[in-house]
Amino acid sequence: MQRQTIAELSRQLQDGSVKSRDLVERCLTAIEGPGRQLNAFVSVCGEQALVAADAADELLKAGRAGPLTGIPFAHKDIFCTTEVATTCGSRMLEGYVSPFDATAVARLREAGVVLVGKTNMDEFAMGSSTETSYFGPTGNPWDLHRSPGGSSGGSAAAVAAGLVPAASGTDTGGSIRQPAALTGITGFKPTYGRVSRYGMVAFASSLDQAGTLTLTAQDAAMLMEAMAGFDPRDSTSVDRPVPVYTDELNTSLAGKRVGVPREFFDEGLDPDNEQRVREAIAVLEGQGAKVVEVSLPNLGLSVPTYYIVAPAECSSNLSRFDGVRYGHRHQGAADLESLYKLTRKEGFGAEVKRRIMTGAYVLSAGYYDAYYLKAQQVRQLISEDFKRCFAEVDILAGPTTPTPAFLLGEKTDDPVQMYLNDIYTIGVNLAGLPGISVPCGLVQGLPVGLQLIGPHFGDTAVLNFAHVYQQQTQWHCLMPAPTGTPDAADNAGGAS
């Protein structure tokens, strides 16, 4: 399927040159056809999607449509939906259908998007490769033997392969930005609290944030205008006016200051990846931005800090899955305690169990002060490092990942190596900042990403920097061939 941006499709829908039903049928055909080899979707809403598309076409015909009306869309399978099951990539929730929609789902539906299916993900968002999914791993459309990243790997692969023009994701430690980088698309994580978490199954409540996976920053801005905003049902939602994000695009970078943290360019960064990122930063400099080196001295502590805070919160959040109220239930348990134990043994995969046990340990009597309390103190130091930087610069720039996409199975036997794939993204979540990954080149025929980070509620600046960069380059236009290898005919990228 030929990829087109939301902005392009919206113009075609508005002028009547294409119908929503045609777009949805194309998506469904691609998902059920060549898209099957990716394993990007865990469920497809065929009939419901066509009904919604017909309704969208009626609104378009009557001149009562918005910019997102009729756009096919996919949700990561962590958002509760009444139309189709919400599994979180786990046996624990296999077949579970929510009685309500997540706020992000409801708002996008109200804006007119058409849900075509739910995408694969690491189990309960715990992973960086989609390999912890109960439904099997997703392949990277650039090379089916490689990972698309995670936990939002299914959404990223679906957008990169052109199965849908856009999809939702969640980012707890880089789970939108990392898969976006590894699949060559745009992944946006808003400021914490900007998009409601209501109906988004919780992993780590102080870190989780809903966001978007799109082809361009402009598309992300269009979606944010529908998704963002205060929600009284979410205690972490911020009551703050939502800007018209698209109005802020194309703002000049002249005089803006881009900070380049020296800690991002460490010995773990692939040299070719570093070269692509430095070339991308030079493009921003060519648009009038001033590039300065800055330091985030505590950034190296972000991974161990995250892997104390996140498991602690997940051990609490996942205690609700006990076989009593909903989800998987062991059959034939002799008593209530056995029901709990056997249900959780059967329902959870190895990585989820590892994190639950780690979290329970660091929260236990005698270890809370030594681990969890200390991690929260270090988290504050990391946040203060970012604040000091943003007193000097408007945006931070660096790599999204240390390397291009890794082989499926390459890191599964070494959880620490898997965790280190998020080394450049985790600090953003610990500090609650907005961040975006945009494609900035190829390394060994595989895409890599430039990460841009803004201060709290600097979402508009992040999107604008990304948009200006994409106006000057063509890396976001690269598309993997259907075989999963780059097609030279489609991949004439770089600065224009």
Catalytic residues: 76, 151, 175
C-alpha to C-alpha distance for 17 and 9, rounded to whole angstroms: 10
Instruction: Tell me how far apart the alpha carbons of residues 108 and 7 are, in angstroms, rounded to a whole number.
Output: 16
**CA-CA-CA-CA torsion sign (110, 116, 122, 123):** positive
In the block, which residue shows the tokens 């992993």?
203
DSSP designation for 300: G
Distances, alpha carbon 232 to alpha carbons 28, 229, 240, in Å:
35, 10, 12
Count of CB atoms within 10 A of residue 319's CB? 12
CA distance 481 to 160: 10
* 99, amino acid identity: P
- Please choose, from the candidates 430, 399, 437, the residue with its C-alpha nearest in 3D space to the C-alpha of residue 192: 430
Beta-strand ranges (E) seen in 77-140 are 114-119
| Residue 285, H or E segment | helix 271-286
Report how far Cα 7 is from the mean position of its chain's Cα atoms. Answer: 20
Residue partners of 418: CB distance under 8 A and separation at least 6: 127, 128, 129, 411, 412
- Nearest residue to 227 (alpha-carbon basis) of 6, 471, 449: 6
Q: Are 442 and 309 in contact (CB under 8 A)?
A: no
Angle at 446 between CA 443 and CA 452, to 5 degrees: 75
Cα–Cα distance for residue pair 5/166, rounded to 1 Å: 8
Q: How far apart are CA 485 and CA 25, in angstroms?
A: 25
Residue tagged 């996409």 (tokens)? 405
**Contact by Cβ (8 Å): 216, 467:** yes
